[in-house]
Every structure is written in C-alpha cells, then in structure tokens.
Amino acid sequence: MTTNWNMRDSFIIRGLYAITPDMADLNTLIQKTQSAIEGGAFMVQYRSKIHDHDVKIQQCAAILRLCREYEIPCIVNDDVDMCRILEADGVHLGEKDDNIAEVRRILGEDAIIGSSCYDQLERAKRAQKEGASYVAFGAMYPTSTKPNAPRATIGLLREAKPQIQIPIVAIGGITVNNAHDVIETGIDAIAVINSLYESNSIKETAETLSQMFH
C-alpha cells in the first residue's frame, strides 16, 4: 500500500467523513466531492452499488486523484481488489466482506480498514481486536441509502465509547439538524452521504458539520 498524502503519521479520523452516492455523471460527482473536501471532509469513501466494474474503476480512480490533490485519504467500499489495483488508502468492510486480518495482510499495515458494526457492540470489539482502523455504527436515523438497515442508538454510542479504543464513526441519516446529538456522545466522526451531496450548498453543509467537532 502506497502512502500518497503528506504527514501520514499525523492523520486522525475525526470530523466529517464523506461517502459518495451512486451518481452516473462523473463530472458532477467530482464537483460535489470537491465541494465536500473544501468544506472540511477529512476523508472520502468511494461507494457505488449500481455501476458495473469498469465504471467503478473509472469513478474511483478519479475520486482518488482528487483526494491526492487535497492530500486526504480515499478508501473504497467493500472492494479489496479495486483498492489494491488503484492503490487507494484503504477499504470499508461490511458484514459479508472479507476477514479484517486477511485484508490487513493483503493491503498492508498502513491501510485504513473500516468495519460496519451496525447496532452490535460485540462486533465492534471483534473488529478492534482483528486490526480495524475504525468501527462504524448505524444507521443512526432513517436513511434512503439503506432503508432496512439496523438502527443504532445514541445510547449504544455512549456505551461503546469507553470500550472501543479505535475511532468510532456514526453513519446513517445524519443531517445538520441531528448531528449534534450524535457528536456530543464523544464519537470521533460522522459519515454522511445524502444530506451532504443533496444539499443546496455542499461546501457550506460540510463546513457546518465539520465545525461541530471544534
């Protein structure tokens, strides 16, 4: 795994974590993602559930180039092979994806490996033990991205904080209006898709969400 942004040692998982939506037009996707980065997103995850492999490679490579320009990490949703081929900075794994320890062996010690833990604290503890870089709980609120996703609670975040030593990310239905309740639990970051990419001013929304951590 190639380290491609400066000051890797000082990189921390904190603040607004942007996740791309399914979007056919690459130029629009790039423009919106650039606005999110300029508004303060510290990391971008390329995520697509509808495109074929060639389109995913093209889009992810473009997002990765953008992230390199701004010297922030770019990770890939689910696809370890695409991460390895493009030399992205890591991967986010779901319930049915590869074993974290095996992915760590494939991608290397520097790779950022996230793990979806839904509403399961024990899963987060296992992910931590297996070498995950961060764990993600959610959906926190109803979300059109995953309408049937298990719902995590504010109470779960509070319970997890003293038991999980790696960064904790909250995801799912988070907006400017409800982010404060999530952030005040002491978690490290919020992952946002729809309320960021569908906002009238992506940069301003990103700035607002990022500033809630200060």
Return the pLDDT at 146: 77
pLDDT of residue 4: 47
pLDDT at 87 over 50: yes
- In the residue annotation, 47 being an active-site residue is answered as yes
Record the tokens describing residue 152, joined without a space: 């995590």
Would residue 181 count as lying in a domain?
yes
- Asked if the model's pLDDT at residue 6 lies above 50, the reply is no
The token pair that represents 40 in the structure block:
């303060």
pTM: 0.94
Task: Specify if 155 maps to a domain.
Answer: yes
Number of structural domains found in the chain: 1
- Give the CATH number of the domain where residue 125 resides: 3.20.20.70
Cα-based torsion angle of the residue sequence 154, 191, 78, 38 in order, rounded to the nearest 10 degrees: -170
Pick the catalytic residue from 146, 151, 161, 203: 146
Catalytic one of 32, 47, 56, 104: 47
104 is catalytic: no
Q: Over the stretch 96-127, which tens digit does the pLDDT of each residue have?
A: 877 999 999 999 999 999 999 999 999 999 99
Percent of the chain with pLDDT over 70: 95
Q: Which residues does residue 77 pair with via DSSP β-bridges, in sequence order?
A: 92
Clarify whether 96 is annotated catalytic: no
The catalytic position among 48, 116, 195, 210 is 116
Domain span including residue 109: 12-211
pLDDT 10s digits, 128-156: 999 999 999 999 999 887 778 889 999 99
Per-chain mean pLDDT for the chain: 94
Helix (H) / strand (E) element for 70: namely helix 53-70
In sign, the C-alpha dihedral spanning 40, 42, 46, 49 is negative
Percent of the chain with pLDDT over 90: 87
Q: Is the pLDDT of residue 200 over 80?
A: yes
Is residue 3 in some structural domain? no
Res 171 pLDDT > 50: yes
